[in-house]
Structure 1
Amino acid sequence: MVATGARVRLGGPLLQLDAVHKRFGTHDVLLDIDLTLHSGEVMAIIGPSGSGKSTLLRCINQLEPPTSGRVTLAGVTIEAGRPPSRRDLLQLRRAVGMVFQSFNLFPHLTVLRNVCLAQERTMGRSRQEAEAVAMKLLRRVGLEDKAQQYPSRCSGGQQQRIAIARALALEPQLMLFDEPTSALDPELGLEVLAVMRELAEGGMTMIVVTHEMHFAESVSNRVVVMADGRIIEEGPSETVMRNPQNARALRFLNAVKDR
């Protein structure tokens, strides 16, 4: 089982969160989150709706700047309350690829152009270079034959796999997945999970917010359970999923077991 950590040899810390807190108005969404992720590790974050899971991902890549605390990623440290330099922010975001619940593809561009555009704009690749990378990645996610199609001609599962290829094209050190199968029916979701499993087996560092309990146990090294803006349990995947010690975590897992 992957969760034993036997899949890859873990490297040093790639991501560290220190006392990350996020408040929207008077509502505290994240409460002093401490978290460390090592290179080559796959972390699954689970928990009830409204527990702050998606906000945590957005704080990591600074789409939502934390109210307080510190984020260190790939050697870049950003302190809440101190506006980061443009250089540091760009370096941090280049280290992270993110796949959202919604696919966020450009409907007026072909699949190939969707995967190429960011490469050309942010990495300075020529159109020819970007297309070579894009075709390689589309082949990897099983969609080489869709290169000249428009997203509207692709299924939801195919569109999410295109979004994964687009994120990978920027060569991130860390991939964030925010409920990537929640908008898909089970059969299409399996297509996306298969690609994610292949990425994990290839050593990609990943944080996956998910409601897919089997995926969390069988693919990740570590599971984090969140509730009410806090981490309430954390540990090796099989241990957390099968023998949680926190009563709230146990109640959540009993509710979603076998779903």
Structure 2
Amino acid sequence: MSATVAPASVTSVARPALVQLDAIHKSYGEHVVLDDVNLKLAAGEVMAIIGPSGSGKSTLLRCVNLLEQPTSGRVTLAGVTVEAGKPTPRKDLVQLRRAVGMVFQSFNLFPHLSVLRNICLAQERTMGRSRAEAESVSMQLLKRVGLADKAEQYPARCSGGQQQRIAIARALALDPQVMLFDEPTSALDPELGLEVLAVMRELADGGMTMIVVTHEMHFAEDVSERVLVMADGKIVEQGPSAMVMRDPQTERAKRFLSAVKNR
């Protein structure tokens, strides 16, 4: 049976949108990176974004929490709407960014701080938690990602997979409503990547709202509810994960998935 794939500007999600991007355009001079991108993400939904390198996936992710400012368009997240080109009150920007946790390809841990202090610091500075409260939250999260025994170590004493799990714990410590993952396993050996994917799978099973830019096709199919395929700055196809992965409808999506599966 052929897959029914929603047009790029339409989503079949019936639940209220926690994240909504409307007509997002991003360019650097004459170079267009994102071209009229629209998407909605419901609370508790897991979305995977796949596509060839240079298709705009990471830029799109960074536009969600405004690490990249769109050239035009509108971002709505957790009740805050930001329109490109219009001034945004600082309190709204802070509220929007507080609702989002982000995990990058590189771990971005402070090398001179212990694992525990890496997770505590942002809680104390941005949330006003006491050191004792921050340490309690951090230890709970380190247990959750299987690294309670690394609390007093420094990042350099941890493997790449462990450092990425620490980065996930650090993002979770700020109680985000949405987690963004930008190819979190791309810098890791396959075995270490599995450690990180296991944590992400546990988060998804627990109901965390997630957008994952990934080259992990099995994860995209098995864990996410919906897959978006991007190419040339556009969403060329989207739909239920298994349908898109197994029976893509557009030629561009077919070409990409064929290349991934046959390499």
TM-score, normalising length: structure 2: 0.94
> Alignment partner of 2:61: what SS?
helix
Match of 1:166 among 157, 165, 170: 170
Identity %, equivalent residues? 79
CA distance in 1, matches of 2:15, 2:132: 34
* Residues 26/98 of structure 1: CA separation in 2 closer, same or farther (3 Å cut): same
After superposition, the Cα gap between the structure-2 partners of 1:200 and 1:258, relative to the gap in structure 1 and judged at 3 Å, is farther
Q: TM-score, normalised by structure 1?
A: 0.95
Partner of 2:261 in structure 1? 257
2:94 aligned to 90, 96, 109, which one?
Answer: 90
2:198 counterpart letter in structure 1? A
Matched, 1:183 2:165: no
Q: Which runs of 5+ in 1 are unaligned?
A: 1-8
Q: Are 2:204 and 1:219 equivalent residues in the alignment?
A: no
Gaps of 5+ in 2: 1-12
Aligned to 1:25: 29
**Structure 1 residue corresponding to 2:247, chosen from 233, 240, 243:** 243
**Distance in 2 (alpha carbons) for counterparts of 1:15 and 1:228:** 22
- Cα distance change on mapping 1:10 and 1:203 into 2, 3 Å: farther
Aligned to 2:121: 117
**Distance in 1 (alpha carbons) for counterparts of 2:15 and 2:34:** 27
- 1:83 CA drift (Å): 2.1
d(CA) in 2 for partners of 1:105 and 1:236?
35
Alignment match, 2:161: 157
Amino acid at match of 2:113: L
How many positions carry a matched residue from both structures? 251
SS where residue 85 of structure 2 aligns? Answer: coil
The amino acid of 2:137's aligned partner reads: V
1:30 CA drift (Å): 0.1
What whole-Å deviation, never above 9, does each CA across 1:150-187 have from its counterpart, x for those lacking one?
A: 00000000000000000000000000000000000000
Look up the equivalent residue of 1:32 and give its one-letter code: D
d(CA) in 2 for partners of 1:104, 1:95: 20
How many angstroms does 1:10 deviate by? 7.9
In the alignment, does 2:135 pair up with 1:140?
Answer: no
- Per-residue CA distance 1:71-95 (angstroms, 9 max, x = gap): 0000000000012110010000000
Separation (CA, whole Å) in 2 of partners of 1:22 and 1:105: 29
In structure 2, the CA distance between the partners of 1:105 and 1:41, relative to structure 1 (3 Å rule), is same
